Structure 1
Amino acid sequence: MTAADTRAADPPLPTPRTAEEPGPRPGGTPPRRRRGSTGARLPYLLIAPAIVAVAAVYAFPLVKTVIMSFQDMGRRELWTGDTPPWVGLDQFTNILGDAEFWQVTGRTVLFMAVCVVLTMGLGLLIALLMQRLSTWVRLLLTGALIAAWSMPLLVATSIFRWLSDSDYGLINTLVDQLPGVEFLGHNWFLDPWQGFSIVVALVVWGAIPFVVITLHAALTQVPKELTEAAQLDGAGAYTVYRYVTWPVIRPVFQMAATLSVIWDFNVFGQIFLLRGNKPEPEYETLGLYSFSKAFESTSFSQGTAIALITVLLLAGVAVYYVRQLMKTGEVE
């Protein structure tokens, strides 16, 4: 056999593949196709219905609010459907120049600050306490918190109205048992400071379950190895919390506190229902003040302007909340 015959008997060499022509995998498995543009758009397609629903619910009212704040819409325009006259920035000028508006704003900020401090403080203490409870006690407490959280606002407000009732309220009955104190028949809402203490108790009671469950979930992510190492080095409970526990739960704490600021700044139903659907001017926060201007004074444009100012005041808080969410995502 010659050299030419030997070369003819050899099998042909495989043709080299290019990057655009992937060959079969070992074992005969067909090559996996690259994800096309449809796969890249899939997350946006899945979230599109939610975006459309949110836009349908919030977009039109928000646009209508902005338009009405630059008009002077009264009862006649509401009933006849005529286009209200345009007044430009007059509504905002009148509101910002009104001393009552700034008084209500200060009251709202103070009320919000007290509610947030109590909610976050008590929520953190209860969450830390849950770490030391046995499993069945912790489950029982979690069930009670969820039950309180799921209670409708109307039911919760009715309970607190009964607790603070001047004639049959449980609070007056218990306080009256103290030596030298006569509290039967005491009306808590004659003094706004005492009345707001009932409102604060109602708001904090309804907000604590969310904070406790959220912070307890964050506390479970604290590495036990770090805690045990700090304790072996002689660190006390406060030192362990400050340098080991707090850095882990701080992002969650900040997000919960930001949400509490937004929710407590917009409190409406608790005060409205506690005062029998007609709260006195001393109990008005920005939400109630806007409602009063729009429907009691029939100055709808002024009420929408106050609501728009409230949205702008909370815009900075919302931006901070979104930034915290983005930072948390980057860390994860």
Structure 2
Amino acid sequence: MRIGLVVDSACDLPLDYLEQHNVDVLPITVRIGEAVLADRRNEQATLEFLHAHVAERGHEAQTTPYTVQQIQDLFLSRLVIDYDYVFCMTITKTRSPIFDNAQQASFAILSDYKAARSAAGNNTPFALRVVDSQNLFAAQGIGAVEAVRLREAGEGAPKIRARLEHLALHTQGYMVPPDLYYLRNRARTKGDRSVSFISAALGSALDIKPVLHCNRGETAPVAKIKGFEPAVEKLFEHAAQRVEAGELLTPTMCLSYGGELEDMRKLPGYERLRHACANNNIELFESVMSLTGMVNVGKGAVVVGFAAEGQKFHG
């Protein structure tokens, strides 16, 4: 069985990894004023756009995911021909309509695929599963990497499906945003009142940075730490401790950063986490945060994702 894998562009994994393993990307279009970029995980294009626009006006950005029709067209023009079963893994549906769009498109795809496959000389059935990662950014990468690993090990669709759904429940995503004012302004633009003016002003005045945690689609602060670098160091140490304790459910750790990766690697705690992963056979993925992610959480944000039971973070 030919198994295809699809993610959206908010999934923070390196583009060369996605291309090497034939993982298709559903792009998200970002518009800031007159500037428009289709976010396709191209790190250089993302950084150029970041330096030109995001720092100043990113909170005003409009992000547009693939529509139901665009997803339907992509599948019927190519994916139903190239594969027999496709897993489409999306950002949490609590933060984006991509899951719902893909789910709605799947009904038409499964109804209409036969003509396209028949024209390609294939009369066997096609199947599609849309999987809500229930997480964001770097943490989305955990399920995608596991799907690649299982596919390459020759596992069938039922086992991959069960594994992805299990991991979605136990993937832990953490983020340290550098600028609460930006986060508040962005939230207001989107009609999200989760970051109040008072908390943003107080946090900025005292240089308090939250460590935000996402699991099962729910996001909340798990710690408030004075200073951006101390907050990041605490987060990296937490991830390293979970690696060293042997608690990860997959041999994967994903990091993403809203800027140049060399800047992330200079942050305190990074080297400890890198060594912990190397010493415990955990593959460490590092990527520039998607443009979609950066316009939503701000330049310079750090995100860590891994799979383990319980979040256990103590600030």
Give me the TM-score of the superposition, normalised by structure 1: 0.26
Give me the TM-score of the superposition, normalised by structure 2: 0.28
From the two aligned structures, give the one with the greater helix fraction: 1
